[in-house]
Chain A
Amino acid sequence: SQQGEEDPQALSIQEGENATMNCSYKTSINNLQWYRQNSGRGLVHLILIRSNEREKHSGRLRVTLDTSKKSSSLLITASRAADTASYFCATFFNTNAGKSTFGDGTTLTVKP
């Protein structure tokens, strides 16, 4: 099964609301990254959080990492219709450089 698993699979909110997505993983990681994908397009990197970091911010994005629970969350504040996309977490391991695992993603729909 995938190392990273997002929850929920789908999320629908109104513009202006906050959106929270969660990611769980199974083994020790070096870092965890969040990516965004618009339908039928490539992925765009959003934020990277290292295993020794607990929280990171970038604009309206806030990412937390709890290595004891092997989980991460992505919070998008004051969402906009343009935030509608799929969001993936990717885990990168302490060993076997190059090997990364992506979850199945959370599909976010922001209604105007």
Chain B
Amino acid sequence: DGGITQSPKYLFRKEGQNVTLSCEQNLNHDAMYWYRQDPGQGLRLIYYSQIVNDFQKGDIAEGYSVSREKKESFPLTVTSAQKNPTAFYLCASSISLAMNTEAFFGQGTRLTVV
């Protein structure tokens, strides 16, 4: 089945730790995105990538880092510099950054700082 997979579904982080969230897609999409969702709110863009080895900051990139070494993978690292990381993280992909294409979302990773 084609799709976009995020893992793990739940993640717990201690204060001061870095954690990495996985996002893999087998849709052959060029563009990939990371969003953060807080309770009762919409999505805010963290980073996006148009193509391998290229990525751009979104609206709330501080405290996060990404890499795009392979077309199908776009991992997100939540660093200790992110002061309020507890949130629901969603990864998405689309055929390209061309604006008339829909985005396909993973099922999300819920990160909790303990």
Contact = CB atoms under 8 A, between A and B. Distances in A.
Interface string A88-103: 1010111001111111
A44 B3 CA distance: 12
Given A43-B90, A43-B105, A98 B97 contact: yes
A30 B90 contact: no
Interface in B26-40: 31, 33, 35, 40
Interface in A61-112: 88, 90, 92-94, 97-105
A45 B106 CA distance: 12
Contacts of B105: 35, 42-44
Contacts of B99: 30-31, 92-94, 97
A98 B43 CA distance: 14
Contact of B31 (A41, A43, A45, A98): A98
A50 B99 CA distance: 10
Contacts of B50: 97-98
Interface residues of B, number: 30
B70 to A, nearest CB: 19
Looking at chain A's contact residues, the main secondary structure is strand
A104 B43 CA distance: 7
Interface of A: 2, 4, 30-31, 33, 35, 40-45, 48, 50, 88, 90, 92-94, 97-105
Interface of B: 6, 31, 33, 35, 40-45, 48, 50, 56, 58-59, 88, 90, 92, 97-100, 102-108, 110
